[in-house]
């Protein structure tokens, strides 16, 4: 038979309460992410006319610093190819379609 402890500690709230971002830090991170996305979007828009017909419905992983891209039917495989060549770099995934959206509703 197990006994429950009457002095159970209930913790609610943030996992790491000592880490709190200011509004300025949040805005800076949002701007950084937007700038990264825009750099990737320029490359995607440049490639879209070449790849749209041949690879429609596939995925493209773009590494903006080098301009390299990786195309595959599977989103995870395209991402893996990008990580293998550039293990310490961030890449962005686009769906190869008119909008670049890579998900389904």
Give per-residue pLDDT as tens, 55-102: 999 999 999 999 999 999 999 999 999 999 999 999 999 999 888 886
pTM as predicted = 0.76
In this structure, are residues 58 and 49 in contact, taking their beta carbons and an 8 Å threshold? Answer: no
Tokens encoding 25: 């830090």
Give residue 20's pLDDT band: very low, low, confident or very high (50, 70, 90). confident
């Amino acid at each position: 038979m197990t006994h429950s402890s009457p002095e159970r500690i209930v913790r609610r709230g943030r996992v790491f309460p000592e880490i709190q971002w200011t509004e300025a830090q949040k805005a800076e991170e949002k701007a950084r992410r937007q700038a990264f996305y825009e750099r990737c979007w320029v490359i995607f828009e440049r490639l879209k006319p070449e790849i749209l017909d041949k690879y429609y419905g596939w995925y493209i992983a773009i590494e903006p610093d080098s301009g390299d891209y990786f195309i595959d039917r599977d989103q995870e495989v395209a991402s893996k190819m990008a990580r293998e060549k550039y293990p310490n770099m961030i890449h962005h995934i686009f769906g190869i379609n008119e909008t670049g959206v890579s998900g389904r509703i």
